[in-house]
Amino acid sequence: MAKKNSRLTVEHLWKMKRQGGLTLSPDGSQAAASVTAYDMGENKAQSSLWLLSTFGGEPRQLTTCGEKDGEPAWSPDGRWIAFVAKRTEGGKKDDEPQLYVIAPDGGEARRVTSLATGVAGIKWFPDSKKLAAITWVWPDLKGEKKQAEKLKAHNDSKVKAHVVEHAAYRYWDHWLSDGRVPHVITIDFASGKCKDLFEGTKYELKQADTAGYYYDLSPDGKEIVFSFDPAEEKRFDHEHHLVTLDLKSGKFKTLTGKSPLNHEHPVYSPDGKWIACITNNLRKSYIAQDKLTLIERKTGKISIHSAKWDRGVNAPLKWAEDSQSVWFTAEDTARTHLFRFALDAKTPEIIGQGGTVTDFAVAGEHAVFVRNNMSTPPRIFATDLVTGAETAVEDFNGPIMAGIKLGAVEEFNIAGFDGDSTQMWAIYPPDFDPKKKWPLVHNVHGGPHSCWGDNFHFRWNNHTFAAQGYVVVCVNYHGSSSFGQDWNESINEDWGRREHADVEAGTDFMLKQGYIDKNRLAATGGSYGGFMVAWMNSRNGKPGGAGYDKSSGGDRYKAYVCHAGCFDWVAMMSDDAYYWHPKELGAFYWDDMKKIESQNPRALVKPMQTPTLVIHGLLDYRVPDSQGLAYYNSLKAKGVDARLVFFPDENHWILKPQNSRLWYGEYFAWLKRYVGAGATKK
Element (H, E) at 657: helix 657-675
CA separation for the pair 227, 248 (Å, rounded): 20
Beta-sheet strand order (sheet of 70-74): 70-74, 81-85, 98-103, 106-111
CB 130 within 8 A of CB 114: no
pLDDT at 602: 95
Q: Which helix (H) or strand (E) holds 507?
A: helix 497-512
First-to-last C-alpha distance (Å) of the chain:
36
pLDDT at 2: 66
Residues 272 and 220 sit within 8 Å (Cβ to Cβ): yes
**In-domain check, residue 645:** yes
> Starting at the edge strand that comes first in sequence, how are the strands of the sheet with 252-254 ordered?
215-217, 223-228, 241-246, 252-254
Residue 171 domain flag: yes
Q: Is residue 237 part of a domain?
A: no
The per-residue pLDDT for 544 is 72
In this structure, the strands spanning 612-617 and 335-342 are unpaired
Provide the 3-class DSSP secondary structure of residue 533: helix
Contacts of residue 308, Cβ cutoff 8 Å, sequence gap at least 6: 346, 347
Question: How far is Cα 39 from Cα 50, in angstroms, rounded to an integer?
Answer: 19
Burial of 410 from C-beta contacts in 10 A (0-12 / 13-18 / 19+): exposed
The 10s digit of each residue's pLDDT in 114-129 is 999 999 999 999 999 9
CA angle, 658 as apex, 656 and 664 as ends, to 5°?
A: 100
Give residues with Cβ within 8 angstroms of 296, minimum separation 6. 273, 274, 303
Residue 120's domain comprises: 115-156+167-210
> Distance (Å, rounded) from C-alpha 228 to C-alpha 199?
15
- Phi then psi for 365, rounded to 5 degrees? -105, 25
DSSP per position, 567-616: --TTGGGGSTTGGGHHHHHSS-TTT-HHHHHTT-GGGG-TT--S-EEEEE
Q: Are 535 and 567 in contact (CB under 8 A)?
A: no
Give the residue among 312, 261, 301 at the shortest CA–CA distance from 284: 261
| Strands in 128-180 per DSSP E | 130-137, 170-171, 174-175
Listed residues 210, 244, 273: the one ending a domain: 210
Residue 584 amino acid letter: E
The number of folded domains in the chain is 2
- For residue 88, what pLDDT is reported? 83
Neighbours of 101 (CB within 10 A): 17
Give pLDDT, residue 28. 96
Distance of CA 76 to the CA centre of its chain: 29
Beta-sheet strands, E only, within 233-365: 241-246, 252-254, 262-268, 274-280, 291-296, 302-304, 318-319, 325-332, 335-342, 349-352, 356-363
DSSP state of 551: G
Go through 370-403 and write b for each residue having 16 or more CB atoms within 10 A of its CB, e for each that does not.
bbbbbbbbbbbbbbebeeeeeeebbebbeebbee
How far apart CA 274 and CA 268 sit, in angstroms, is: 6
Q: Is residue 250 part of a domain?
A: no
CA trace torsion 75, 79, 82, 88 (10° rounding): -170
- Count CA within 13 A, CB hemisphere, residue 603: 12
Series of mean pLDDT values for 10-residue runs along the chain (682 residues): 82 96 96 96 95 92 88 98 90 91 92 97 98 98 96 96 95 96 97 97 96 97 97 95 98 96 98 98 96 97 97 97 97 98 97 96 96 98 95 96 96 98 98 97 97 97 98 98 97 97 97 97 98 95 74 86 98 96 96 97 95 98 98 98 98 98 98 97 75
The length of the chain in residues reads 682
Q: What CATH number has the domain bearing residue 464?
A: 3.40.50.1820
- Residue 314 belongs to some domain of the structure: no
Reference 421, options 472, 487, 334; nearest CA is 487
Domain assignment present for residue 87? The answer is no
Cβ-based neighbours of 633, under 8 Å, separated by 6 or more? none
Give the pLDDT confidence of 655-673 residue by residue, as tens digits. 999 999 999 999 999 999 9
Burial label for 163, CB within 10 Å (0-12, 13-18, 19+), is: exposed
d(CA 426, CA 435) in angstroms, rounded, equals 17
3-class DSSP assignment, residue 626: helix
Query: Which residues, 6+ apart, have CB-to-CB distance to 199 below 8 Å?
Result: 137, 139, 142, 183
| Nearest-angstrom CA–CA distance, 630 and 616 | 11
Orientation of helix 528-539 relative to helix 497-512, angle to 10°: 80
CA separation for the pair 70, 84 (Å, rounded):
5
- As beta bridge partners, residue 421 has 415
Task: Give the integer Cα–Cα distance in Å for 511 and 146.
Answer: 67
The predicted pLDDT at position 681 comes to 81
Cα separation of 424 and 418, whole Å?
16
| DSSP, residue by residue, 72-91 | EEE-TTSS-EEEEE--EETT
Dihedral of alpha carbons 375, 480, 342, 53, sign: negative
Buried b or exposed e, range 312-330, using 16+ CB within 10 angstroms: bbbbbbbbbbebebbbbbb
Query: What distance in Å separates the CA atoms of residue 122 and residue 131, rounded to the nearest whole number?
Result: 7
Q: 669: left (phi > 0), else alpha (psi -120 to 50), else beta?
A: alpha
CB 262 within 8 A of CB 249: no
Whether the model clears a pTM of 0.85, i.e. scores above it, the answer is: yes
| Residue 531 resides in a domain | yes
- Note whether residue 466 is domain-resident: yes
Q: Is 640 exposed, middle or buried (0-12, 13-18, 19+ CB in 10 A)?
A: middle
Among candidate residues 432, 479, 421, 431, the one with its CA nearest the CA of residue 452 = 479
Q: Which residues pair with 560 in a beta bridge?
A: 523, 612
Contact (CB, 8 A) for 171 and 576: yes
Please name the residue ranges forming H helices in 111-222: 144-156
Distances (CA, A) of 423 to 138, 479, 492, 542: 48, 12, 19, 27
